[in-house]
Chains A and B, each alone.
Chain A
């Protein structure tokens, strides 16, 4: 490495957002792309991994005993005349949003938090509430700069060359195991106002909810359902579907609205010795959430921030689950496997796993060219569960079998407890991915706790 001041290489205990499975790595903060290349070529025996904002739930962004790169210094954001945005890998989506909105544009895809980095979003090939219309973020990448373990920077223009596209596609969803993304150029979409026009539909059970979500008459860019993960019996799977579109100036009645707050929230959850979230309080939360939703309402104007990022208003909300932490179980299944959604809700209710936040979404076609990209056409369910729930390990193992039998898969960015065989069965492209890794990374420099645990 060129010159690395001591204060730029700090040992830290790292966990994911679920606050489970800590491991210690030396965190290095390269100032330039050259430093990134130097870190890769001078890697020690435990290898190197880039960590974004640490918003994956499990061990995807940690590398016990090795080096972890924080690319926070590579965070420039530039909006081009054609509406594309070029951003450093370390830029947060919260850095991009105000720039885009000021020009009447928005992110083509955004996850449920804006506090993720551009590099992390691409490495996980994140999806949003518009996957059924717009696909995942990988579908909007025009160019990516990737430093491979040999220290070479590849400028990967979409359609530039077959070899370049192969590397680009493997990197989308590749969990940082193909190289260090340093910059990307993304397409954007129009957002003439900072408002979203939202239609709300309340469904008393899962059948009604799923019927609403597949109703061809409801054509909206954004569609997501919150599901009451504590409801059982006849109420199982009851939920609230919100359908949204960016508001035109007419629809917004000239309201300018508040800007999306910059930076991370100042109000947050402090470290707690025990979790205040018990089964009763979570059930009460779900009950209130369900009852406050109108049975049906059209045309409500909701700001960009509360619509896309409701939880971003509470800093460190992951601490609510206490020191033992939590996990998020997220799978995707084809339409033919819709029953797995019901079985998951039933199974988790049966073991008394209180879920604060369960989210059901439709997926459009996935990215078969990207071997580890998560979305496949059909349904995806995400359920938060505290790890202390008795019987959780066995219940999730059994649900894994259901997911695989239905032709589905688990989301690597959320995983903290799957076994290698489950991932291999869900991702038939894994063999290709491994082959590409052995070509570009014969020394095995790029590793993570996730890649070791799941033998990626």
Chain B
């Protein structure tokens, strides 16, 4: 149970090596936090994440094997995580960015990305929502992207996967209303992480820590949607309404 001072006691991260996810766990660190489960594919990065968080004094950090595209394994994985005690925050943080040109050259790669980002997202979000509803409290935090708000020429495959995930999460927020469980949809702009290191940062770019701060603030306020940075809400509102002929020519 998240306490009266908004401190989570237990966090489950799906996509446990994501920089944004780990920054969020650090931002949620408190004396009340006693269980952190990092679900990710076995890798040196995952081991390093467990070791780093533990060394920083985060209590009860463990890792479990998780493959976002392996949807038939998700039921057992989530059931086990919840069997270990109530989960206050489920953070859906996995995703692949890919390369737009490669997606267009090899549609199989685009299908794979869609399977991870969208299909995997559908699978874990619906299952986690059911478990949160059953415990009568807790928040599903879904890392979406402003790329899902309006498909752009430069990354519409990735954008479409996030658009699907974002729609699903937004609908779940309404479905869970009154259940004691909540959904927080996080829409960052360009985040400077390892995933985007090869790209030129876009305007209003943010760090993983800034996204984590916005997540924690959103949890505290009980928000359904947060933009990071907050100014992105206004920018996207403008972009959504631009005529297509203009939007297509924007260098974004």
Contacts and interface: CB of A to CB of B under 8 A. Distances in A.
Interface of A: 11, 13, 18, 20-25, 46, 58-59, 63-66, 325, 327, 387, 392-393, 396-397, 416-417, 419-420, 449, 452-453
A25 B31 contact: no
Interface string B1-27: 111111101000000000000000000
A396 B137 CA distance: 24
A392 B5 contact: yes
A327 to B, nearest CB: 5
Contacts of A393: 5, 7, 30
Contacts of B2: 21
Nearest to A392: B5
B31 A46 contact: no
Contacts of A21: 1-4, 137
A452 B178 contact: no
7 contacts: A11-B178, A24-B136, A24-B179, A46-B134, A65-B133, A327-B4, A416-B4
Contacts of A397: 31
B136 A65 contact: yes
B135 A419 contact: no
Given A24-B180, A393-B30, A419-B32, A453 B135 contact: no
Given A64-B136, A397-B31, A417 B5 contact: yes
A82 B133 CA distance: 51
B17 to A, nearest CB: 28
> Counting chain B CB atoms within 10 Å of each CB, which of A11, A20, A25, A417 scores highest?
A417
Interface string B126-164: 000000011111000000000000000000000000000
Contact of A24 (B5, B9, B86, B137): B137
B4 A65 contact: no
Contact of A453 (B3, B30, B31, B134): B3
Contacts of A325: 4
The main secondary structure of chain B at its interface with chain A is loop
> Counting chain B CB atoms within 10 Å of each CB, which of A18, A58, A59, A453 scores highest?
A453
B121 to A, nearest CB: 24
Given A24-B136, A25-B136, A64-B135, A59 B1 contact: yes
B152 to A, nearest CB: 38
B5 A22 contact: no
B85 interface: yes
Contacts of B180: 13, 22-24, 64-65
A271 B189 CA distance: 36
B86 A64 contact: yes
Interface of B: 1-7, 9, 30-32, 34, 85-86, 133-137, 178-180
A393 to B, nearest CB: 4
A425 to B, nearest CB: 13
A46 B136 contact: yes
A453 B1 contact: yes
A453 B9 CA distance: 8
A452 B1 contact: yes
A370 B6 CA distance: 31
A440 B125 CA distance: 38
A289 B70 CA distance: 65
A452 to B, nearest CB: 6
Nearest to A13: B180
Contacts of A65: 133-137, 180
Contacts of A452: 1, 85-86
B183 to A, nearest CB: 15
Given A327-B4, A392-B5, A416-B4, A66 B136 contact: yes
B1 A64 contact: yes
Contacts of B3: 20-21, 416-417, 453
A24 B1 contact: no
Given A416-B3, A452-B85, 20 more contacts: A11-B178, A13-B180, A20-B4, A21-B4, A22-B137, A23-B136, A24-B137, A24-B179, A24-B180, A25-B136, A65-B133, A66-B136, A327-B5, A387-B4, A393-B7, A416-B4, A417-B5, A417-B7, A417-B32, A420-B34
B1 A387 contact: no
Nearest to A18: B4
A46 B135 CA distance: 7
A417 to B, nearest CB: 4
A66 B5 CA distance: 23
B62 to A, nearest CB: 18
Nearest to A397: B31
A387 B136 contact: no
A387 B5 contact: yes
A64 B134 CA distance: 8
B125 to A, nearest CB: 19
Nearest to A63: B136
A452 B138 CA distance: 14
A23 B137 contact: yes
Contacts of B32: 417, 419
Contacts of A18: 4
Contacts of A66: 136
> Counting chain A CB atoms within 10 Å of each CB, which of B5, B30, B86 scores highest?
B5
Contacts of A23: 1, 135-137, 180
8 tightest A-B CB contacts, nearest first:
A64-B136, A24-B180, A416-B4, A65-B136, A20-B4, A24-B136, A23-B137, A393-B5
